[in-house]
Amino acid sequence: MNFVLSLCARLVFVVTLLRGQDVLWVTDARIAKGNNINLGEALQFLREYDSEASSMCLRVTTAQWSYATNMTDFNKRRMIDEQTLKAKFDKVSWRKAVEFDWSRIPDPLARRLLRMLVTNSRASLGDDKFNEIYHLISEMKDLYAHVRACPYNNFDKLYCDLELDLDVKRIMAKSRSNAELTHIWQEWHNKVGPPMKNKFMRYVDLANQASILNGFQNAGEEMRFAYEDENFESEIAQAFHKIQPLYKELFTYVRRQLFKRYGPRVLRSNGPIPAHLLGDIWGQDWSNIEDIVIPYREYKKIDVTDEMLRQGFTPLRMFQMAEEFYTSLGLKPMPPEFWRYSMLERPNGRKVQCTVSAWDFCNKIDFRIKQCTEVNMNDLITVHHEMAHIQYYLYYADQPYLYRDGANPGFHEGIANAISLSVNNPTHLYRVGLYNNNTDIYETNINFLMSMALKKVAYAPFAYLVDQWRYQIFEYGVKTMNADWWELRLRFQGIVPPVKRTESHLDAAAKRHVIADMPYIRYFVALLLEFQVHDVMCDAAGHRGPLHTCDIYRSREAGRILMDILKSGKSRHWKDIIRVLTKGNTDTISPEPMLDYFEPLLLWLEGKNKREEEKIIGWSTKKEDTALFQPLVSKGYSVGCSLVFVINSVLLLVLNM
């Protein structure tokens, strides 16, 4: 959206109270405010802000698009200039907004918009520190983009030119050599973290200072405030703990297959899994080890790529097919500007950024996708996913600028993923003439659910813990932040580093979102939401049978539900949206539909795991595991931090009861 998928960019904060069925926007007395309560002046300011912010967004997005689709030095300079201008505009807008006492403005819409503006900024820091944090983040992103790893067996160290997207990810996905995987894992982590450590610590300090000036106790509290819900933390903690038994069954089965492959020299049969064996540099998506863990090898994986090639598919046809999916639900076709300006294939003769993204140019007309599409099944699903973001943009285009966003930061991705759940299942592929085999074979279904679990269930603890770590360091400090990172990785994911780590490392920095100041809990929210929305739409579409076989294609009823969510944008509280969506059953993000979706796989996993020798579902931790990352001398701080862990554990125990 304004800035690629602004879901990756904007934070908006409002505290809410639930009273009976109504969601009320309530004030938080601590948030910065001035003393102007003149409604006329406030409305005038907001009108001007709406129009100027939209124009500013159009300018900066246009410059970003130009650079992303033609990476010249000139375009880069222009983009940086526009971004700097936009940062200045945000700062000036914040200054104007804090002149109002938003809490006493006698109009709820104006109150909310003003409050969003005053809490959505680091401008409270003053010019010097504002510029400093802005540059620190840019420098860290730049460092990240330029990290290059040395290949395995590169004795002369001459060609240390492995890039994350092209090389590191490929090697982690394809290599089955413990030595090579360990090397690449270590290379990447050692090259990313240490050079950023000082900058990151200063960033933590400044982010905290800004949040304190904004009326929060620390930057973590301000990040959570984006969910406009006092119970957000405990609700997602509960949801997380409901999914953990499924994760642990999957983990146990996967570890056994890895143990068979790599043996006791690499991992223990009942211990944590070393992070380099999971097919992914972050250990967050285990899809790449499907070949090692597939339940029924003799039943082929569903892949319609060959059929697409046989039928002469092109990238354009894939986009037309996705458009037809949405119009079959009664949603809008893509506007002419979309077809005219999108970049649907990798162009010849110029350097482009191939990362897939959906763009909102903030002028209610121009919406585009940038994708170096190839004709294969994976890209077909991605095309549908990206077009869901465009549908969101199209439907909320008439909302005020600040409401042109998902209902909460997880909604955009949650909705887009919910669509993918329909599109990637064999039922849909059969209906669109790409898959002709029988979809009702038990073994094929289990294989399919396993491939989904490697992506979704495996991801849950990672998506949950990234921001748990950030909240911790914002609150308790950075002294043992690398050990804290691994403590969480071990506790929630059952994962340990393949080699010894110390506080000179900063392994969380291997994840770009961490150093780029991008909140991450939204992906956990999106994960649950996608199944919740899928479930409701399937119900409306009259689906009978297991949830993983549902396809909402051609259902106007499902389309109406979708449209209703999309057109509200951020104007309604997300709890209100969920309450209406679930016909009053719940107003919270529920893990039940996800558990329901994977139930057949859970039964299969339980059966498998029960029969095996080791009997431990999950992992048992030994000293040798924690010794991989714990500092040698215990400091006062560590005690404080452990106390937090104890309190958290007790809280979670209570929640589990």
Longest dimension (CA), the chain: 73
Give kind and range of the element (H or E) at residue 17. Answer: strand 15-19
Q: How far is the CB of 603 from ligand X8Z (least distance, A)?
A: 28
Beta strand 495-496 with 367-370 is unpaired
- Cα–Cα dist 526/586, whole Å: 17
Of the two residues 197 and 512, which places its CB atom closer to ligand X8Z in the complex?
Answer: 512
Of the two residues 12 and 150, which places its CB atom closer to ligand X8Z in the complex?
Answer: 12
189 is in an annotated binding site: no
Chain residue at closest Cβ approach to ligand X8Z: 8
Among 523, 524, 574, 598, binds ligand X8Z (CB under 6 A): 523
Of the two residues 127 and 165, which places its CB atom closer to ligand X8Z in the complex?
Answer: 165
Stretch that binds Zn ion, among 263-271, 292-300, 321-329, 415-423 (CB under 5 A): 415-423
CA-based Rg of the chain, rounded to a whole angstrom?
25
- Cα–Cα dist 592/263, whole Å: 36
Helix H segments across 120-152?
127-145
Task: Residue 369: name its binding partner from ligand X8Z, Zn ion, none (Cβ under 5 to 8 Å by kind).
Answer: none
Q: Which amino acid does the sequence have at 292? A: I
Tokens in use for 624? 């040798």
Is there binding between residue 144 and ligand X8Z (CB under 6 A)? no
Among 273, 281, 362, 416, binds Zn ion (CB under 5 A): 416
386 noted as active-site residue: yes
Q: How far is the CB of 527 from ligand X8Z (least distance, A)?
A: 9
Catalytic residue among 222, 386, 487, 530: 386
Provide the mask over 392-411, with x wherever binding to ligand X8Z is found by CB under 6 A and - wherever it is not.
--------------------
- Cα–Cα dist 568/392, whole Å: 9
Stretch that binds Zn ion, among 11-19, 50-58, 406-414, 512-520 (CB under 5 A): 406-414
Catalytic residue among 233, 337, 503, 513: 513
Of the two residues 453 and 558, which places its CB atom closer to ligand X8Z in the complex?
Answer: 453
Tokens in use for 555? 């259902």
By CB under 6 A, how many residues form the interface with ligand X8Z?
A: 3
Tokens in use for 121? 């900024």
Tokens in use for 201? 């610590």
Distance of CA 339 to the CA centre of its chain: 27
Task: Residue 416: name its binding partner from ligand X8Z, Zn ion, none (Cβ under 5 to 8 Å by kind).
Answer: Zn ion
Task: Residue 8: name its binding partner from Zn ion, ligand X8Z, none (Cβ under 5 to 8 Å by kind).
Answer: ligand X8Z
413 is in an annotated binding site: yes
What DSSP designation does 334 have?
P
Beta strands in 300-402 (DSSP E): 357-360, 367-370
- Cα–Cα dist 503/276, whole Å: 20
Task: Residue 523: name its binding partner from ligand X8Z, Zn ion, none (Cβ under 5 to 8 Å by kind).
Answer: ligand X8Z
Closest CA to 8 of 411, 354, 296: 411
- Cα–Cα dist 463/521, whole Å: 6
Of the two residues 122 and 412, which places its CB atom closer to ligand X8Z in the complex?
Answer: 412
Is there binding between residue 419 and Zn ion (CB under 5 A)? no
Helix H segments across 146-298?
169-174, 178-213, 219-224, 232-262, 290-293
Provide the mask over 329-368, with x wherever binding to ligand X8Z is found by CB under 6 A and - wherever it is not.
----------------------------------------
Beta strand 495-496 with 273-274 is parallel
385 is in an annotated binding site: yes
- Cα–Cα dist 464/236, whole Å: 9
Q: How far is the CB of 6 from Zn ion (least distance, A)?
A: 12
Q: How far is the CB of 170 from ligand X8Z (least distance, A)?
A: 16
What DSSP designation does 109 have?
H
Among 1, 5, 136, 192, binds ligand X8Z (CB under 6 A): 5
Q: How far is the CB of 464 from ligand X8Z (least distance, A)?
A: 12
Other residues' Cβ atoms within 10 Å of the Cβ of residue 544: 7
Q: Please give the C-alpha separations between residue 630 and each of 57, 189, 633, in angstroms, as whole numbers.
A: 45, 17, 9
- Cα–Cα dist 26/473, whole Å: 29
Q: How far is the CB of 8 from ligand X8Z (least distance, A)?
A: 4
- The torsion angles phi and psi of 357, rounded to 5 degrees, stand at -160, 155
Give kind and range of the element (H or E) at residue 552. Answer: none
Provide the mask over 477-516, with x wherever binding to ligand X8Z is found by CB under 6 A and - wherever it is not.
----------------------------------------
Of the two residues 46 and 418, which places its CB atom closer to ligand X8Z in the complex?
Answer: 418
Nearest-10 crossing angle of helices 556-568, 574-581: 170
Q: How far is the CB of 2 from ligand X8Z (least distance, A)?
A: 14
Is there binding between residue 8 and ligand X8Z (CB under 6 A)? yes
Task: Residue 130: name its binding partner from ligand X8Z, Zn ion, none (Cβ under 5 to 8 Å by kind).
Answer: none
Which residues are annotated as part of the binding site? 227, 385, 389, 413, 522
Q: Which residues are annotated as a binding site for chloride?
A: 227, 522
Which stretches of the chain bind Zn ion, using CB under 5 A?
Answer: 413, 416
List residues forming the annotated binding site for Zn(2+).
385, 389, 413
Which residues are catalytically annotated? 386, 513
Interface positions with ligand X8Z (CB under 6 A) = 5, 8, 523
